[in-house]
Amino acid sequence: MKIGASSFIWVSPFSNETLDLAEKVRTMGFDILEVCVEDPQTIDIERTREALDRFNLGATICGAFGPNRDASSEDPAIRGQAADYIKACVKVAKGIGSPVVAGPMYSAVGKTRLLDKAARDRQWALAVRTLKAAADYAGQEGIKLAIEPLNRFETDFINTVEQGLDLVSRIDKANVGLLLDTFHMNIEEKDWAAAIRQAGDKILHVHMCENDRGTPGTGLVNWLAVRDALREVRYQGPGIIEAFTTDIKEIARAVSLWRPLASDQDSLARTGLQFLKKLFADQRRTHPAAGNDL
């Protein structure tokens, strides 16, 4: 498995001012830089591609879906902004060589309400309508959309693999699948391996971090179960370490990160990379109950 690092580990937003991340992550030993597109206007596609090529790095794209990018909004203008934003991310993805645009693109992060069945059905219908059109555009550009279930504190809509598969089925486009994130799975799934097996070939992308959203291998995630299940379903994509820094107050507040999760961000990335490289290089088949002892 190729291992990548999210730009969110260090910076926000990504721009020409942060292109030195390409050299940093390659020097650390990563294969991929995941570019988080908060504002497409800050992404210089040509210069970003040049930096990636210079350091022989692959790329993936992850979106940021706030209140004005809500694909299931009752407001058609906001749904239109969500669609336009996804299209902009697709353009960036194509330009820098990412095969995928990933993220919780069905709603606004932080939107949490108790809805009756009629209101929830309408939310489903609006999200499906918006994402079908976005998927058609992405497909024309050769890009896949990876939909990310989030935990219950960040969305009231898609929390589990089962719900994610339902949404993918309703969208019914060959280039649409799932992004699985071990942090969210730790909260919402009863069994990591069973959820991964259930997702199967619909898994397009994987985010890897601990139960506290920190360094892989330092917490409660059953990494052996995750690894073995991904192998079982023949997942061929990358594993991206996604973490955040308290130095960027807006992002830290958005993800409820109130304290540093490592001595520094470089240590978080480097230690996580070492753990994941060892994990996925180890060919032993270990019973999931064995935990993280490699």
- Give the tens place of pLDDT for each residue, 118-173: 999 999 999 999 999 999 999 999 999 999 999 999 999 999 999 999 999 999 99
Question: According to the model, what pLDDT value does residue 254 have?
Answer: 81
Q: Mean of the pLDDT values across residues 65-81?
A: 97
Distance of CA 287 to the CA centre of its chain: 27
Cα(36)–Cα(9) distance, integer angstroms: 10
Percent of the chain with pLDDT over 90: 89
Q: Which of 15-29, 233-247, 273-287 has the lowest mean pLDDT?
A: 273-287
Beta bridge partners of 55: none
Residue 35's nearest CA partner among 110, 113, 88 is 88
Question: According to the model, what pLDDT value does residue 255 have?
Answer: 84
Please determine, for residue 291, whether its predicted confidence score (pLDDT) is greater than 80.
Answer: no
More confident residue, 259 or 24: 24
Beta strands in 134-268 (DSSP E): 144-147, 176-181, 203-208, 239-241
Please determine, for residue 282, whether its predicted confidence score (pLDDT) is greater than 90.
Answer: no
pTM tops 0.75, yes or no: yes
Provide the pLDDT confidence category of residue 268 given band limits of 50, 70 and 90. Answer: very high
Question: According to the model, what pLDDT value does residue 283 have?
Answer: 53
Q: Mean of the pLDDT values across residues 232-238?
A: 97
Question: According to the model, what pLDDT value does residue 193 have?
Answer: 97
Cα(134)–Cα(154) distance, integer angstroms: 23
Percentages helix, strand, coil for the chain (3-state, rounded to 5) are 45, 15, 40
Q: Mean of the pLDDT values across residues 88-95?
A: 98
Percent of the chain with pLDDT over 70: 96
Q: Which of 57-66, 73-82, 86-95, 280-289 has the lowest mean pLDDT?
A: 280-289
Please determine, for residue 286, whether its predicted confidence score (pLDDT) is greater than 90.
Answer: no
Cα(126)–Cα(178) distance, integer angstroms: 19
Q: How many CB atoms lie within 10 A of CB 144?
A: 22
Residue with tokens 């089925």: 169
Tokens of 46: 């040509």
Q: CB of 285 within 8 A of CB of 228?
A: yes
Cα(143)–Cα(17) distance, integer angstroms: 26
Cα(137)–Cα(92) distance, integer angstroms: 13
Residues 6+ apart with CB under 8 A from 119: none
